[in-house]
Amino acid sequence: GESVGLHLPTLSVQEGDNSIINCAYSNSASDYFIWYKQESGKGPQFIIDIRSNMDKRQGQRVTVLLNKTVKHLSLQIAATQPGDSAVYFCADKLIFGTGTRLQVFP
Amino acid sequence: NAGVTQTPKFQVLKTGQSMTLQCAQDMNHEYMSWYRQDPGMGLRLIHYSVGAGITDQGEVPNGYNVSRSTTEDFPLRLLSAAPSQTSVYFCASSYSRFNPYEQYFGPGTRLTVT
């Protein structure tokens, strides 16, 4: 069946550095992906989405890159802040990956 | 708007007990869904609804029932709780049944079945 997976369960970065969270998917026909942020004790929160007709999409301090050739997408967070500490999920429409925990240290 | 609300926040059940997890949204969203979140498993879709009176099964529907009598409410029923249903449950909604993927999630219900 279809699957979505993140490469690292945990990512630790220093405050101010850029963070890159990677995600792979299995279905070559997948055409819509979403990144969610989940803070401790809360539900996931929509961050940004991208459709397969795009390679890159930018939001506020976040950029998502999509490489359809290798079925890989990434979420880049610029100038990572303590408030960015959370678990980040990529989703192929309604199918969620397992999440990467981003830890930001001073 | 309150967004998506869920009650209760925490619940402990004994095996075989039944209960209903409540979910409501005040955004007039067509699409609503229930997920369970287990460690290392991501979120898995239990049931979903594209509008009042219409429900369908997701990836892991066994042991759960849903109904959608109004646009606002989408309760999840556990008829006979089992320890395997210990999990965190999230309700979500999105504006359109035709593009349900940008979902707004509730704060979750942490359920323990002993």
Question: Min CA distance, A97 vs chain B (Å)?
Answer: 5
DSSP state of A82: G
Tell me what percent of the residues of chain B surpass a pLDDT of 70.
100
Instruction: Quickly count: other Cβ atoms within 10 Å of residue B99's Cβ.
Output: 12
Reduced DSSP (H G I as helix, E B as strand, rest coil) percent helix, strand, coil of chain B, to 5: 5, 55, 45
Contact across the interface for A46 and B104, Cβ inside 8 Å: yes
Q: Is the pLDDT of residue B22 over 80?
A: yes
Candidate from B42, B90, B108 with C-beta closest to A99: B42
H/E segment holding residue B3: none
- Average pLDDT for residues B73-100, to the nearest whole number? 95
pLDDT band at A7 (very low <50, low <70, confident <90, very high): low
Q: Is the pLDDT of residue A1 over 60?
A: no
Structure confidence by residue, pLDDT tens digits, A11-45 = 999 999 999 999 999 998 999 999 999 999 999 99
Q: Is the pLDDT of residue A6 over 90?
A: no
Candidate from A43, A89, A94 with C-beta closest to B45: A94
DSSP state of A77: E
**CA angle at residue A41 from A36 to A47, to 5 degrees?**
15
**d(C-alpha B49, C-alpha B10), whole Å:** 24
Alpha carbon B9 to its chain centroid, in Å, reads 13
pLDDT at res. B97: 87
DSSP B83-102: GGG-EEEEEEEESBTTBTTS
**Cross-strand bridge partners of residue A65:** A56, A74
CA distances, B65 to each of A29, A65, B86, B101 (Å): 31, 38, 16, 22
Contact across the interface for A97 and B42, Cβ inside 8 Å: yes
Q: Is the pLDDT of residue B41 over 90?
A: no
**d(C-alpha B46, C-alpha B75), whole Å:** 12
Structure confidence by residue, pLDDT tens digits, B54-82 = 999 999 999 999 999 999 999 999 999 99
Structure confidence by residue, pLDDT tens digits, A69-104 = 999 999 999 999 999 999 999 999 989 988 999 999
Contact across the interface for B105 and A43, Cβ inside 8 Å: yes
Question: Min CA distance, B92 vs chain A (Å)?
Answer: 9
| Chain A residues within an 8 Å CB radius of B45 | 94
pLDDT band at B109 (very low <50, low <70, confident <90, very high): very high
DSSP-based three-state secondary structure for B41: coil
Q: What are phi and psi of B101, to 5 degrees?
A: -80, -25
**d(C-alpha B15, C-alpha B17), whole Å:** 6
